[in-house]
Amino acid sequence: ELTLLGVTQYYAYVQEKQKVHCLNTLFRKLHINQSIIFCNSTQRVELLAKKITELGYSCYYIHSKMAQQHRNRVFHDFREGHCRNLVCSDLLTRGIDIQAVNVVINFDFPRNSETYLHRIGRSGRFGHLGIAINLVTYEDRHNLRRIEKELRTRIGPIPAEVDSKLYVAEFQHDLK
């Protein structure tokens, strides 16, 4: 059973060609422990992973056309923290159960609510804190509202500053 509890969801309106730039901005503004970035096709997974590795990201990728054994290996290494970000297509069926993942990004917005839930949802009653950010193009605008409605959830526009308390575990202001 997957839940969206504890996950704060945002969207950012972008054009296709602005997506990588938008991703860069997110990675300069947020406190990311580990992140998962979803694309809609295996080609786009490989392209994006290659592109952002060149830009200095620490990332692995997995997609459905890779051998299961290879996928397991990559996922295991990611879980162990060998790299910080994972680019992938839709193949995780159980929901993310990696405690360190506090940011999930839909680089491509999914077409239906089931996929959305599988990407963003957490398993277990006490989901860890996290944020989900959807890069939404003009074509995605109806899907966004439909999925929001079907899942009875709220996906708000991303604010200039994302409150750390929403996704950084154990964040404390008193330390200042």
Residues that bind another protein in the complex, under the rule CB under 8 A: 24, 27-33, 35, 56-58, 81-85, 99-100, 168-172, 174-176
Q: Which is nearer to another protein, 32 or 155 (CB)?
A: 32
Helix (H, G, I), strand (E, B) or coil at 43: helix
Overall residue count recorded for the chain in this entry: 176
Shortest gap between Cβ of 121 and another protein (angstroms)?
A: 22
Shortest gap between Cβ of 124 and another protein (angstroms)?
A: 18
- Rg (the chain; Cα; Å): 15
Q: What are phi and psi of 145, to 5 degrees?
A: -70, -35
Are the C-beta atoms of 62 and 74 separated by less than 8 Å?
yes
Shortest gap between Cβ of 107 and another protein (angstroms)?
A: 16
Q: Which is nearer to another protein, 85 or 143 (CB)?
A: 85
Q: Which is nearer to another protein, 5 or 169 (CB)?
A: 169
Q: What are phi and psi of 144, to 5 degrees?
A: -55, -50
Q: Which is nearer to another protein, 44 or 84 (CB)?
A: 84
Q: Is 33 left (phi over 0), alpha (psi -120 to 50) or beta?
A: alpha
Shortest gap between Cβ of 55 and another protein (angstroms)?
A: 9
Lookup: tokens for 136? 């939404």
